[in-house]
Every structure is written in structure tokens, then in C-alpha cells.
Amino acid sequence: MSQGILTPEQQKLVLDATIGLAAENDLGSITLDQLSKISGVSGFDIVRHFHSKEKILAAVLERELELIAGSVAEPELRFPGETLRDEIEVLAKIMLQEYRARLPFMGKVLVEATRNTEVGVLFYKTFIQQGRLLFTEFLQVRQRRREVREDVDIEAAAAMYLSALTFILLVVELFGGRQVEPLDDERLVREMSEIFLKGIQSKGT
């Protein structure tokens, strides 16, 4: 502690406190005193370790992305009898589940991003770009196995699929859609995967 570097457990406490506070407050209104009180870590040490609010938010986003990535199988792995369609549908269901679990926090980040360009850039670089990279790596492996056409722009395909999936979830859950009609996850995943595969899949796979 003499060098102002928090232990992994203390870092976790600070990040957990940030998410907890964000569920009830605007991100911009969260204070160092609040973080210190809830986490039990001194404000002085929090500042010496993270240096700024933006770096705390970056650490939260990176950790949440790592947790999501940890719930997905390695791109090289495939269970016996599994098809490309099976894999994509499983990935989509996991993404919906993991994103939905984080919607209260993500909603606050999106609101803050409309007010603060730095937060928007931070969210895009960590959660959007890095999240897309996970799906891109999966599709690249399948392309090398000739299950995805050679002429497919893998990065663009990954971006379009994930953007469509997350946009629908956000509109329904955060922008009033849930009060109008329920979101049928099974139907959404099935039909989106069907359309997606028609565009990228190699013939005969």
C-alpha cells in the first residue's frame, strides 16, 4: 500500500462499488467519497491506483468484457456433432444473457456517453471493439476450416451480426420496447442466425 497500488481484492471492491453505485446514480455524479465508503478502500489509494474516473470506468468495462469472454468457449473448440449454426446460436444466446445481466450499468454508461465524448470513446474501444474481436476470432477459425466463404469480410460480418443483436436488445430493454411487446430470445437467435448463415456459409457445410 505504500506505493498506492491496490491488491486484486481491493480493485475488485472498487469496481464492484462502481457498478453498484451506477445502478442508482448517474455515472458523472458518483464521487470518490461514495466509492471509498462502499468499497472500504481509502480514497487516497483509489486515486493513486486509478488516477481518474475514466480509468476506473475503463477497468470496469474491461473486467465485464473478460467475464463475458470467459463464458464463451475458445474459438478452436467444438463439441462432437456441433454445427456452425449450433455454435453461432449458442454464442448469440450467451451474448444476450450476459448483456441483459449488465443492462442497468450499460444503460447508465450509454446515457453518460451522450454527455461526455470521452466516455463514449472509452465504451466503444473496450466493450464494442473488443467484444467484436471475440466474434471475429471465432469466424476466422471457421473460415480457415472452409465453413465460411473465403470472400467474406469477417470483421464486417462480425460487426453487423453483433450490432443487430445488441441493438434489438437495447431497444427492447432500455427504450420502452418491453412495455409494448416481449422479446422472444429463441426466435430472435434462430432467425438472425438463419439470415446470417445464408450470407457467409460455404456451400455444402
pTM of the model: 0.80
Can you give the pLDDT at residue 2?
39
More confident residue, 205 or 51: 51
CA dist 164 and 170 (Å) reads: 10
Residues 73-127 have pLDDT tens digits of 787 887 888 899 999 999 999 989 988 888 888 889 988 999 999 999 998 988 8
- The residue ranges of every structural domain in the chain are 1-51, 62-200
Q: How would you class 175 by CB atoms within 10 Å of its CB: exposed for 0-12, middle for 13-18, buried for 19 or more?
A: exposed
Q: Dump the DSSP string for 147-167.
A: SB-TT--HHHHHHHHHHHHHH
User: 1-51, what's its fold?
Assistant: Arc Repressor Mutant, subunit A (1.10.10)
Quick one: what percent of the chain has pLDDT higher than 90? 49
Q: Dump the DSSP string for 66-117.
A: HHHHHTS--TT---TT--HHHHHHHHHHHHHHHHHHTHHHHHHHHHHHHH-H
> Among 1.10.357.10, 3.10.20.30, 3.30.420.40, 1.20.1250.20, what is the CATH number of 62-200?
1.10.357.10
| Dihedral angle, C-alpha 92, 157, 142, 73, nearest 10 ° | -30
